[in-house]
Structure 1
Amino acid sequence: MDSLLCDELLQEIFHRLPPPSSAAISLVSKRWRRLLRSSTTSLALHFPPPYNPTTITSFSTFLSHHPFLSSLSVAGGDFSGDPILLAASSSCPNLRHLRLLSSPVSSFSLYTLSTSCTHLSSILINISRPLSFSWLPSFNSLKSLSLFLTNPLTESNDFETKDDVFDVGLSLESLSLRGIIGGDYGINYLWRNCKNIKKLQLKSCESLGDYSAFSSFTEFWNDLQELELRTCRGILDGVLLKLAENCVSLNSLLIYDGGSRESLLQFLNHSKCNVKRLDLRLPLDLDNTHLIALSENLKFRNLVSLRLQSCCLVTGEGLKAIGRAMGNSLEELALINCDVVERESGLLTTLGQDLKRLRKLDLSYNDLLLDKELVSMLVSCNFLEELKLRRCIRLSKVAVESMVRSCKKLKSVDVTYCCGIGVDGVEFIVLNSTLVKRVEVELSKVSEVVRTLAVSKFIEVVS
């Protein structure tokens, strides 16, 4: 039988098999192993500690058996990243996406990589201070760059390369930076030369660079569409105020763990952006004044997605104002670990009646959410397609029955760690839902009945 199948047909079969089958395929014969490797386009590898030079040395040989590799992800922690880059340079000419979580890499290895892997469009790496980005223009196809800045700033960093060559025409569209601190002179190079950024992520950043960086940063976002600020309390005031003044293209904003009540209020009151997606995790920095400002600013009337997490100071007043103002536009609502859901009876009922176009609802981690509150909301959610109730431990099969009865268009359900929803509740979902294609639940609640039905109805059960 093996001799009757040509290489192309075998490779097509390999592509259609689930990922866990790959290990078994390579054991069938040398031919199958060779064909599997030559048809593999994506690899994710992990080098467990301790550091083993022999393993890294043989890595280049291993990669050479995968000539069509386009995506490579390598993690470990205590090995040098330079040998990985050099191995990829010599063995992966078709590489387009590289994710390397290791010790910092050097400029030399990055130059080598840019020469050999000319199609690279996405890179995630660690780099160390002193910062220099002289290697960056060498990647002509690069669209997405993620950098983790490591080792502390010391007196020896005073000679940081400033890369004073500007206007080099970088074509980056997505930029993610983690760990910027005051005195990082090299960062100004990015603000000056990245003119086409559409998505910016800043994580654990205390600063935007040296004293001149902020002025360059304010000219940086002509086409910015998505902004994420995670644990960036030190720079949030300046960024939000300038954003409200200068940016009109932004359509998605995420702020986690580090806010400023006043600057956020100023942004919500005066923003000129037609923001479509707003995602906030600000336990002690978000209150009703912000939600009311959001509901009153006409620029937010086309808001499609509102996600709130752990917002302790928000009450029903603010959420009801959102429901009244955005009932004709809001398609996604997340109230994750927001005790207002449990604290104010009838709130969910009102939101369900106001938000007629709701497609996605996430009420996860609301431990005290009761069946009657959820049921009263779902009665009005006739267009709901995705429902997440993870760790809502008070819910029971009553909620499941209401979900199936009221939400006829439901396609995805997450009831993981819902203690009151047992095996019979999961069976009820799979048996009675006509459009559901994905159910997330603990493995212990997946019965043989569910397995059989899931296969026959093409439902993905995720444990």
Structure 2
Amino acid sequence: MDKELCDELVQEVFQRLPPSTSFTVSLVSKRWLHLYRTSTTSLSLRLTPHPSTLPSLSSILSHYPFLSTLSLLLPPDPPTVGKTTAFSDHLLLLVSSFCPKLHSLRFLAGPVSLSSLTSLSSSCTHLTSLCINLSRPLFLMWVLKFRSLKELSIRVCSGDGVDPNWEHGFSAEEDSAAELGLESLCLSGIGDDDRGFGWLWRSCRKLKKLQLKSCEGIGDGGSFSSFAMCLQGVQELELRTCRAIIDGVLLKVAENCDSLTSLLVYDGGSRDGLLRFFSRRRCNLRKLDFRLPLDLNNDHLLAVAKNFRSISSIKLQSCCLVSGEGIKALAIAASSGLEELALVNCDVVEREPGLLATLGQNLRQLRKLDLSYNEMLVDKEFVSMLVSCNNLVDLRLRGCRRLTYAAMVSIFKSCKHLESVDIMHCPEIQADAIEFLVLSCPRLRQVQVEQSKVTDVAKTWASCEFVAADA
């Protein structure tokens, strides 16, 4: 077989095989192993700090000359930031030397210096996506060297990493502006006094997606004047654990952004700031995703229902202060277009009997439904909603501990288009119910459930019908 198959055909086989089996098949011969490596374009490695790490990584990368996507993860080195930076720089230099064709690099291996980033920009000229760690003080004008970059993710690490050029770079940033091609920007750990971000905000005029995570400020002393300059074209905004700045950010978005269609706010909000934002109808929001246990209430949902009737996706997680009144109003307002609803760990589902039935009657266009971790949800309430939701393709019930076999029968009867279902950690749903579901739903392609609940009959049927049973 080795002699009969040409190189191109063997490589085509590798590309069509699942990742879990392609490497095993490549061990047929040295030639096949070489072909497998040269046809591999994506690689993810988890490294450990050790003297042998550098030569090992060098050897590995030398075998994969056509990588376009690379992910390197290394646990932080505890002793000092300087040592961590030096080790990370060596790793990044190896990437620069062996991976000139990279388009995407996720480098979570400690903070890196300006010199190693400069080397990376010279070698990997096709990079469009970069995820990197930096230590303070920051110097951000190196971004200009990556002319093809569209996606950038920076995590600011604590410590005092020192670059001899940082003072010169900082003074240049103060009075300059640039035209960056960034369309997606994710920043984690920004402090109020971190410098250089004013230049970045002024230079990002093409942003479509902005993510801020665990940020205590927006840099440069908290001036929002520069920040507002990057918002005009933003379509997606994510704010995770950013309580200190959320009011200012939402205010500037409301004043400067007409294009916002998706908003995510997790773990930290302001009731007044959120209400002011929802009361100003400047954009056409389509997707809302909130995890605000003590901040989101009915006033916010009623304001959304009044001002944003084109919502297609609503996700609420652990929102304890909302009631059926607010959720019903939102469902009625968005009834014609809502395709995705998530009420994850929301006690209103258990607190107000009949709520799910009302939602089902108003949301007949739903395609995705997530009721995960509502531990007290019972069959009767679940079934009362499902009888009206005949267009579901994706259903998530993870952690719904009281659902039983009856829920699976209802899924079979009502969800003729179902393709994916998650029923992990549902102890009352046993192996016979899983077998019934797999055998009865003709369009089902993915079931997330414990392996111990998948019978031999279900496995055989799933393999014939190309259904994936994930644990």
Question: TM-score with structure 1 length normalisation?
Answer: 0.96
1:387 to partner: Cα distance: 0.7
- Aligned pairs for 1:74-153 within 5 A: 74-77=72-75, 78=77, 80-152=87-159
State the distance in 1 between where 2:115 and 2:162 align: 24
Instruction: State the SS of the aligned residue for 1:218.
Output: helix
Equivalent residue, structure 1, for 2:66: 68
- Aligned pairs for 1:53-452 within 5 A: 53-77=51-75, 78=77, 80-152=87-159, 159=167, 161-162=170-171, 163-164=173-174, 166-211=176-221, 213-297=223-307, 300-452=308-460
1:441 to partner: Cα distance: 0.6
1:154 to partner: Cα distance: 11
1:174 to partner: Cα distance: 0.3
What amino acid does structure 1 have at the position aligned with 2:141? S
State the distance in 2 between where 1:92 and 1:126 align: 19
Percent of pairs with identical residues: 55
1:156 to partner: Cα distance: 12
1:155 to partner: Cα distance: 12
8 A contact 1:175–1:201 mirrored in 2: yes
Task: Classify 1:210/1:165 alpha carbon distance in 2 versus 1 (closer, same or farther; 3 Å).
Answer: closer
Spell out, residue by residue over 1:420-448, the C-alpha distance to the aligned partner (whole angstroms, 9 max, x if none). 11101111111111211111111111111
8 A contact 1:166–1:193 mirrored in 2: no
What amino acid does structure 1 have at the position aligned with 2:226? S
Instruction: State the SS of the aligned residue for 2:385.
Output: helix
State the distance in 1 between where 2:325 and 2:318 align: 17
What amino acid does structure 2 have at the position aligned with 1:56? L
1:458 to partner: Cα distance: 1.6
Aligned residues: CA RMSD: 1.8
What amino acid does structure 2 have at the position aligned with 1:258? G
State the distance in 2 between where 1:430 and 1:345 align: 30
1:290 to partner: Cα distance: 0.8
Farther off after superposition, 226-235 or 203-212: 203-212
Instruction: State the SS of the aligned residue for 2:263.
Output: strand
8 A contact 1:306–1:332 mirrored in 2: yes
State the distance in 1 between where 2:161 and 2:9 align: 59
Q: Which runs of 4+ in 1 moved over 3 A?
A: 152-160
Question: TM-score with structure 2 length normalisation?
Answer: 0.94
State the distance in 1 between where 2:159 and 2:91 align: 24
1:57 to partner: Cα distance: 2.7
8 A contact 1:388–1:413 mirrored in 2: yes
Spell out, residue by residue over 1:362-394, the C-alpha distance to the aligned partner (whole angstroms, 9 max, x if none). 000000001000000000001111110001000
Equivalent residue, structure 2, for 1:31: 31
Task: Classify 1:362/1:126 alpha carbon distance in 2 versus 1 (closer, same or farther; 3 Å).
Answer: same
Structure 2 spans left out of the alignment, 5+ residues: 78-83
State the distance in 1 between where 2:141 and 2:414 align: 59
Equivalent residue, structure 1, for 2:15: 15
1:134 to partner: Cα distance: 2.3
State the distance in 2 between where 1:192 and 1:5 align: 56
1:247 to partner: Cα distance: 1.1
1:21 to partner: Cα distance: 2.1
1:212 to partner: Cα distance: 6.0
Spell out, residue by residue over 1:240-290, the C-alpha distance to the aligned partner (whole angstroms, 9 max, x if none). 122222211000000000000000011111131101000000000011111
Structure 1 spans left out of the alignment, 5+ residues: none
State the distance in 2 between where 1:142 and 1:155 align: 25
1:166 to partner: Cα distance: 2.8
State the distance in 2 between where 1:401 and 1:149 align: 50
State the distance in 1 between where 2:217 and 2:53 align: 39
What amino acid does structure 2 have at the position aligned with 1:53? P
8 A contact 1:173–1:199 mirrored in 2: yes
What amino acid does structure 2 have at the position aligned with 1:239? V
What amino acid does structure 1 have at the position aligned with 2:64? H
8 A contact 2:193–2:222 mirrored in 1: no
